[in-house]
Amino acid sequence: MSETIDQISKVHRPVLGEDIPIFVFRAFRHFTANYVTQMLGRSATTVFQNAGRDLGRDAGALLKRPTLDEYLKEVVTFTTNLRIGNLKPVEINQKHMILGLEECITCVGMDNIGKRICHFEVGFVAGIVEAFTGTRVRGHESKCNAAGEGICEVTIDLGEA
């Protein structure tokens, strides 16, 4: 049994409140990623991507709208309101979907470490797309702030994976 979005969204911190510095989120996020990578090597990418995918599917089910256009608007509003980042559709056609994520919560502003690291976000976007299409899709990070590329960008391949 895993926790649901509804369960983990219930916060009761009357004194400390609901906000934390981004740095704290990143400490959990990056130290966990480093450790899992030490343990699992390259399959760590799959772990984070598939975790993001599960979350994306659940979030997508809550945000679902009848048309792709309305749905993506809803997703953009959701990611902005939660300050995950500013999601910008770059290119959408039958073959693929390219979405930029400006001000990515995970990596914007950090040092260039020469690699793309937002595997969770890639999975999240893939899961969001899957909630709409009902089929499994492949995704990869085509740009990342952590690699010095100035933005994070997720490319989703719409062929079946």
Give contact residues for Zn ion (rule: CB under 5 A).
Answer: 107, 118, 144, 152
Q: Least distance to Zn ion from the beta carbon of 121, Å?
A: 6
Task: Give the list of residues 6+ apart from residue 45 with CB closer than 8 angstroms, or none.
Answer: 119
Smaller CB distance to Zn ion: residue 47 or 107?
Answer: 107
Smaller CB distance to Zn ion: residue 48 or 71?
Answer: 48
Smaller CB distance to Zn ion: residue 62 or 82?
Answer: 82
Q: Least distance to Zn ion from the beta carbon of 38, Å?
A: 20
Smaller CB distance to Zn ion: residue 107 or 131?
Answer: 107
Q: Least distance to Zn ion from the beta carbon of 12, Å?
A: 32
- Give dist(CA 105, CA 107) in Å, integer: 6
In terms of C-beta density within 10 A (0-12 exposed, 13-18 middle, 19 or more buried), how is residue 19 classed? exposed
Q: Least distance to Zn ion from the beta carbon of 117, Å?
A: 6
- Give dist(CA 104, CA 135) in Å, integer: 26
- Give dist(CA 29, CA 35) in Å, integer: 10
